[in-house]
Amino acid sequence: MKFNLSDTHCKIFYESNAEFEEVRQLCLQEGTNWLSKNYNSDNLKIEDHSAYGVLYQTSTRKPMVMGGVYNNSTYPANVARIANRVYSFLDFRMTPSTMVDAHCCLCLLLNELMAVTDYDVYLITMQNRPARPKKGFWKGFYNSIQSASGNDWTMGDGYIQTCPWDVKNCWQNYIWKEITPGAYAKWDPTTINHNQWLLLDDGT
C-alpha cells in the first residue's frame, strides 16, 4: 500500500543541503508536472521559506510529496501560504480512487510544517487550469482535502492575490485554516469574484 501513513516519515529543511538537492533533482528529472520549472534552484529556494518539508516512504526511502510554508510579505506577518511549491512524486501520484489516501499523506506533511511554524492563519492556493474552466479539479481537491483532514479547511471567498501583479496567475483559488480563533476575520483579506478574475490579463 503506497499511501500507508505508518510507513512514512517527514524531514523539515530550513536551508538547502545535499539531501534536499537529491530530492530536487529527482523532481526535475521526472519532468511530468506542468509547473516543473517552479522547482529549479532559481524558483524554489528553501531559505525563502519558514520551513520546507519532504514526506518519505520509510520502507523505500523514496520521497512522496514535498512543500513548504511561505510568507513573502504579501500577507500580514501572522498569515502564510502552506503547501507552497508542493510536488507529488511520480510513484505517489493519486488516482480518483486514491485521492483521499494521498491527501492524508499531504495532511501529515502539512501538520508537521504547522508544528514547526507559528502562524495564525494558513492558506493553500491553486491556480485555475486553462483547459478545465469549470474548476472541477479545485472542487475535487477541496472535497478530498476535507475528507483527509477531518474538515480542517474552509473554502475561500473567490480568489486571493498571491503575487504583486494584477493578472490571472496572481489571483488564485484558496482555502484557509485558522489556528488562532478570529484571526481570519480580523485580517479580512481582499478577494475578487470569478467575473472580476475573467477580466484580468493572463500573466506568465
Mean pLDDT of the residues in the chain = 94
CATH 3.40.630.30 for domain 5-198: yes
Count CA within 13 A, CB hemisphere, residue 48: 14
Residue 132, helix vs strand vs coil: coil
Count of other CB atoms within 10 angstroms of residue 158 = 16
Question: Does the pLDDT value for residue 32 go beyond 70?
Answer: no
Instruction: Give the pairing type, strands 121-126 and 79-88.
Output: parallel
Q: How many CB atoms lie within 10 A of CB 128?
A: 19
Contacts of 111 (CB under 8 A, 6+ apart): none
> How does pLDDT run across 33-91, given as a tens digit for each residue?
667 889 999 999 999 999 999 999 999 999 999 999 999 899 999 999 999 999 999 99
| Rounded CA separation 5/143 (Å) | 20
Residue 171's DSSP bridge partners are 161
Q: How far is CA 203 from the centre of its chain?
A: 20
Q: Residue 177: pLDDT above 70?
A: yes
- The larger pLDDT score, comparing residue 162 to residue 129, is at 162
- The answer on pLDDT for 31 being more than 90 is no
Q: What is the pLDDT of residue 35?
A: 73
Helix, strand or coil for residue 189?
coil
Helix axes 136-149, 99-115, angle to 10 degrees: 60
Q: What are the phi and psi torsion angles at 3 (to 5°)?
A: -110, 40
Residue 204 has pLDDT above 70, yes or no: no
Domain locations in the chain?
5-198
| pLDDT over 90 (residue 26) | yes
pLDDT of 60 = 97
CA contacts within 13 A on the Cβ side of 108: 21
Residue 131 has pLDDT above 90, yes or no: no
pLDDT tens-digit readout, 136-161: 889 999 999 999 999 999 999 999 99
Helix, strand, coil percent values for the chain (each to nearest 5): 35, 30, 35
